[in-house]
Structure 1
Amino acid sequence: WWARRCGTTFRLILKGLVEDEALRDFLAPAGLQGKIILDPMLGGGTTLHEAIRLGANVVGADIDPIPVLQARATLTQVPLAQLEAAYQQLTDGLWRSLGAYFAVETLAGYMVPLRFMLYGVRRACACGPAIQLDSLDLRPHDEVRVDPERLGVWQGDRWQGAFIDLPAGVRLIDKRSRHCASCGEKFQVPPNLPYREQLVPLVTVAVCPEAGVEYRPVSPDDQMRLAAAQLAVSRTWQDAAFVIPPGPKSRDLHYRGIDNYRDLFSPRQQLYLWESRRLLAEVPPEIRLNLGLLISTSLEFNSLLCGYKGGNAQRPGAIRHVFAHHAYGFPYTVVENNPLFEPAGRKASGTLGQLFHDRIRRARQWAAAPAERVPAGRGSQQVPLPGEKDGGMAVLTAAELAQGQRRFLLHHGSAVDLPLPADSIDYVITDPPYFDSVQYGDLANFFRVWLQQLLPEAADWQYELDAAAIDPREPVAGAAYDYLAVLGGIFSECQRVLRPDSGRLIFTFHHGKATAWAALAGALRQARFQLVNYYVVHSESPASVHINGLNALTHDAILVLAPAVNREWQRPGWPAHADSEQFTATCARMLGWSLSDAADETDLPAAWQALLSSG
């Protein structure tokens, strides 16, 4: 899930709530035993994981099923040995079913697993057809390159062969060639050509026992395997289950004539998903959940939207995953990855084996014995935290949270109506959606349609769009009001379940737009919250590609609110727009004033506009 936040920030928040001063130190294990903490907008689950590490019992809710499933998988303590055995059984079954489709013959005559296949994209101008690549250099320093004159591949000083079945008169160009040098026309996609038919298989990459990593042109046998996969997949999925709904990010797909998620995956990749579904049905539920999510996350590296970074000297052969920029991108050199490729003694970008090692094996080992990094000289060192564990026991009712520790209750649905009694939660710690957010709900459809197939009984897959603070469909007029109304309902429910005297609502927020702060203030006023205090901390980098251009700041305000406080906030003066820390602090103080009796709710949008348009 995209919306993970810095665990350090949330551990800091949680440590501030520890009553025993001896346990407030950042590196001191435990401290929140006996407390119940709620995150009503679960997202990436940072709050739940950090709180359960400190011994708290936790409640998480989200309108989208994917965060709930991820929290269930990562918080449930499944023995790693069982996951290892089930993973091996899964991959053995996949190899038996799919190995022939992912086989390739090297130039020396060895049959080996394909590592990946590179495609170019069809373009045309008045002069005729062209095939465009991101770069004609496939490995740095001309180690591997496409020859546009001989229409083939060089690897070092070895001629690997010519491409086959290319259109007569075709030209091989890189993405810098936007216009034809002869006719002056812009290179365009040929009309009425579906996306998958725009892709031309050019190069296979495999590891030869004699030559090592080998790049060579696609052969007739390779084409036969592609055709066989196409025939096999025609007997599997039904298109109706994969129609792409409207959305602000999905618009980029519709614009290119892509109306079905199946069109974003090669026949071999679709067979991988089909066989995975069949094999997962035989696995126990908790292990099936982990492996199903693993296969889902592998799709970001196993789609026909994956690009090739092999020309980069620092990342030779690496794959650019689908959402590298938190949006749909359309590379000129497309990579069809082999998800089952497992090289001996080397990493392989985006393969199932690499992802299992990184996201299950190493993650489970860390969760069993968490550690934190601390500065050490010019670097850092890991400090173990004896007694901490990142995991707990699932419960089904709120009553079960009143005893024990490290228990978790998960709710899939809107947080405006939680299955919790009044006055039962010690603290609500969350991270509201960014006002003009990256459309995570829309982008998540890319994974959701396949998770419905892989884990059909794991969740209610009907997504209540109208209850989302950020609607994943096309934006409509009144979006600020919807954000206010939905958050207001969630905050009102937080007010109901918080303990009246000591309960606190705590979250991080920053934004450069007056409309965002005014909507937030309106939602909090609707729920009758007031600001107790604020703290300004470093935020995620403004260079982060998914917030670039969204008025990103370099600081967050940690906002601490309560149902009623005896503190007055003065309306602040103009913020220093060039100073991120001071700007964020000014906005936090303005929020405090906005929630006080001194502020007129009907004037808040104008008051915020006056503040942030000044200076």
Structure 2
Amino acid sequence: MPPPQHTTSPPSLLARVNWRAVGALAAKELSNREVHAPVVSTYRWWARRPHCVMGALLDAAVAQYGPELVVSDPFSGGGTVTFEAAKRGLKTYAQDLYPWPARGLAAALGTCDATELQAAADRVLAALAPHREGYRTADGHELSHVLRVRRSTCAHCSGKVFEFPHGLVSVTSRSLSDRGAFFGCRACGHLTRRTRGIKSFTCDGCDARWSVNNETAGCPHCSHDALCAEGWQAVLVQELAVVHSQLRAVLRPVAEGDPVALHPASGVHEALAAKIPTGKETKRLLDNGFAAWRDLYSSRQLEALTQGLKAVARLDCAPAVKDRLAFSLLGAAEMPALLSRWDRFNLKPFEGMANHRYAQTTFAVESNLLSPVGRGTIPRRLEAAAQALQWFIDSRKRPPKVATTVPGRRGRRKTDWDVLVTTGSSVKQALQTGSVNVVVTDPPYFDDVQYGELARLFHVWLKVYDPNVVVDESAEAVPNSTRGTSPADYEATIAACLAESRRTLKANGRLILTFHNKKMVAWRALAGAIATAGLKVTALAAVLAENQGDHCKRSVNAMLHDLVIECAPANTPLLPAPSLEFTPKSAAEKNLAAMGLALVDCVAARNSADLGAEYRAHLERLGVRKRLID
């Protein structure tokens, strides 16, 4: 007979964590994720939690259950929980609805030889070397970036309009001693160089006078707003030049003979020729005049990416090596020539979804994806893949055995895998009943991120690499007006996934969620889902989870902390009273503490309708006037 399950409740896992110390580590990690957690570069996903936070939770679980515990993450996404569990040699189950993050996670966990990976990467770059010639200037220099402004025609006066979004288009260099900047004229498209601190300037091309800060839209000739986009005009290039025996990037205006023309792409893969489907986020692309996915890219970028994937396919090497290389190339697809934005003060491009939205920009930057310098280029991504592999190798005594499957295949023997990665909805998980000690996960943050729509770009490219990829967005737990999914649908899907996770928990197991949102409706849905899933909140904490310096957090009143919610099956005997396992100090922490305490009350009462009133009452008890959640 199997040994009897524990019938007494263990102490809170959250009580084993020093939340102030972890918060300090999180701040350090978030300031430079690529250094502290290189695996973030292996594939793009959104709302990744800090590795140190998930690591601290797993260490607490090991202290409570021992090193033989089983960990599950049913919303694995960026894979933070899985990476940290695998580093510790813990048996881990990860599942995501979408192929892109699931396959990216499996590829990043795959074991391969670092020397073989580097040799294969060198062969791919050698095969792609001829494609760099498309960015070569007449004097033999290479362009790393081409910056273009959208050119339109006024429907009222037929005048040409150059839609610079800012008067100051770009500083001339990142050097603190260089105070120069380029200013754009909306009437003629000419760039004028002046000191960056000026408030107005006269265009050197047409003598028009412009205010730098009071930027206006519409036609500069007649003031009407009816503009018809007709194309893109290159105005700046960043050229690689050798200065004092060092390779330097120099930003300058376009010169005659520069290779800046946008040539139409021909013979592209059918997945790239497919029409961009309608959606809450993809509407931004369609409204900007893009019809097919290929329209986002220059022909040079399309050639580099597709030929790179073909070069990977031709390699005679281990599948794990091929997958790592392929995901490095596929990741570069997030830098489309007509969607990427230029950081005008730091001189670097931002990927087309840097704000968790598809960009709507009238000043786009084409990255030379094969440039030896520049953010997000293929050489740098291949280098990052090698660093991520070494980071993972150095963290483990032996490589994990990684298996992949689809939902519904329960009852696998424990010896089959160290890490099991599953693709599909977590309403059905490939785990035995009562087999998991701790579930650590962060469910979709309501409608803050439309994961499926943003991942469409990657899924299109993944189909170029593997035509058998199948994507189903219908089961996504995110409210979406285009698909007709509501907050009630979100609540029902999250509840079903959590109920399935409760089924997999051992009798003394725990389920830990991290969550934040500024919308009360999101918290009500979460409270309802927890209650419906048959769970009870047992402990709470709050911790820093977002970097305020991130592009999507700038100039907005973003919520930077997560509420950490520990739950147990509601029928667990001898559960202690719910506890607040941290001392809230800031207004943000106190708001999350108040929401957490309100969550405890409403989940216990199975009445999420009162959540707003309970939250305000707890805020008052904590002496907080500023309400961050509405």
TM-score normalised per structure 1: 0.78
Partner of 1:470: 478
The 2-side partners of 1:333 and 1:53 are apart by 42
Query: Which residue of the other structure, out of 20, 43, 62, is the alignment partner of 1:18?
Result: 62
Match of 2:151 among 117, 122, 140: 122
Offset of 1:490 from its aligned partner? 0.8
Tell me the residue number matched to 1:351.
377
Gaps of 5+ in 2: 1-44, 196-204, 621-630
Quote the residue 2:602 is aligned against: 594
Which residues of 2 match residues 424-573 of structure 1 at below 5 A?
Answer: 424-457=435-468, 460-463=469-472, 465-470=473-478, 474=482, 476=484, 479-499=486-506, 501-541=507-547, 546=552, 552=559, 554-565=561-572, 566-567=574-575
Q: Per the alignment, do residues 401 and 338 of structure 1 end up closer, same or farther by CA in structure 2, a change over 3 Å counting?
A: farther
Partner of 1:60: 94
After TM superposition, give the deviation of residue 186 of structure 1 in Å: 4.8
Deviations 1:493-521 (A, max 9, x none): 1122212x222211122334432232222
1:325 aligns with 2:355: yes
From 290, 293, 307, give the equivalent of 2:341. Answer: 307
**Once structures 1 and 2 are overlaid, which stretch shifts more, 271-280 or 130-139?**
130-139
Residue 138 (structure 1) shift: 4.6
1:201 aligns with 2:234: yes
Work out whether residues 271 and 463 of structure 2, in 8 Å CA contact, stay in contact via their aligned partners in 1: no
Aligned partners of 1:155 and 1:215 also within 8 Å: no
Q: Aligned pair 1:365/2:381, yes or no?
A: no
The one of 82, 85, 107 aligned to 1:48: 82
What percentage of residue pairs aligned between the two structures are identical? 23
**Higher alpha-carbon deviation: 328-337 or 75-84:** 328-337
Structure 1 counterpart of 2:595, one-letter code: C
3-state SS, counterpart of residue 206 of structure 1: strand
> Secondary structure, in 3 states, of the residue corresponding to 1:16?
helix
Shift of 1:348: 2.4
SS at match of 1:18: helix
Distance 1:613 1:546, change over 3 A: farther
| Contact residue 423 and residue 497 of structure 1 kept, 8 A | yes
Does the C-alpha gap of structure 1 residues 482 and 415 become closer, same or farther in structure 2, counting only changes over 3 Å? Answer: same
Could you say which residue in structure 2 is the equivalent of 1:395?
A: 403
TM-fit CA distance, 1:254: 2.0
Distance 1:151 1:325, change over 3 A: closer
**Deviation for aligned residue 1:360:** 1.0
Q: Quick one: distance in 1 between partners of 2:403 and 2:354?
A: 36
TM-superposed deviation, 1:156: 10
Cα deviation, 1:45-95, whole Å, max 9, x if unaligned, reads 111111112221111111011111121011112111121111111111112
Distance 1:38 1:222 in 2: 54
Q: CA deviation at 1:214?
A: 4.8
| d(CA) in 1 for partners of 2:192, 2:153 | 25
Question: Aligned with 1:5: secondary structure?
Answer: coil
Amino acid at match of 1:246: T
2:89 match: secondary structure? coil
The residue matched to 2:134 in structure 1 has which SS?
coil
- 1:172 shift after superposition: 11
Q: Distance in 2 between matches of 1:330 and 1:105?
A: 33
| Counterpart position of 1:415 | 426
- Which residue number corresponds to residue 588 of structure 2? 580
Cα distance between partner residues in 2 of 1:553 and 1:208? 40
Following superposition of structure 1 onto structure 2, how do residues 208-227 of structure 1 map, counting pairs within 5 Å?
208-209=241-242, 213-215=249-251, 218=254, 221-222=257-258, 226=261
Cα separation, partners in 2 of 1:542 and 1:327, compared to 1, 3 Å: same
One-letter identity of the residue aligned with 1:593? D
Task: Report the counterpart of residue 82 of structure 1 in structure 2.
Answer: 116
State the distance in 1 between where 2:388 and 2:63 align: 30
Q: Does 1:33 align with 2:67?
A: yes
Of the two structures, which has the highest relative contact order with CA contacts closer than 8 Å and spacing of 6 or more? 2
TM-score (norm 2): 0.76
Find the residue that maps to 2:278 and give its secondary structure: coil
Give the Cα–Cα distance (whole angstroms) in 1 for the partners of residues 128 and 571 of structure 2: 59
> Over aligned residues, Cα RMSD in angstroms?
3.6
Paired with 1:61 and 1:243, the residues of 2 have a C-alpha distance of 29
Instruction: For residue 114 of structure 1, report the CA deviation from its aligned partner.
Output: 2.3
Secondary structure of 1:258's partner? coil
Give, as a single letter, the amino acid of the residue that structure 1 aligns with 2:394. Answer: A
Matches within 5 A, 1:165-176: none
Note the residue ranges of structure 1 that are not aligned, 5 or more in a row: 21-30, 158-167, 371-386
Summarize deviations over 1:318-337 as a string: whole Å, max 9, x none.
Answer: 22332232212233432111
The residue number in structure 2 matching 1:341 is: 371
1:494–1:239 Cα change, 3 Å? closer
Write the deviation string for residues 335-363 of structure 1: whole angstroms up to 9, x where unpaired: 11111112xxxx42222112222x21222
Return the alpha-carbon distance in structure 1 between the equivalents of residues 170 and 56 of structure 2: 47
- Please give the per-residue CA displacement for 1:517-567, whole angstroms capped at 9, x wherever unaligned: 322222222221122322333343567554686873635233232352334
For residues 136-175 of structure 1, the aligned pairs below 5 Å read: 136-140=169-173, 141=178, 143=180, 145=182
Bigger shift: 549-558 or 264-273?
549-558
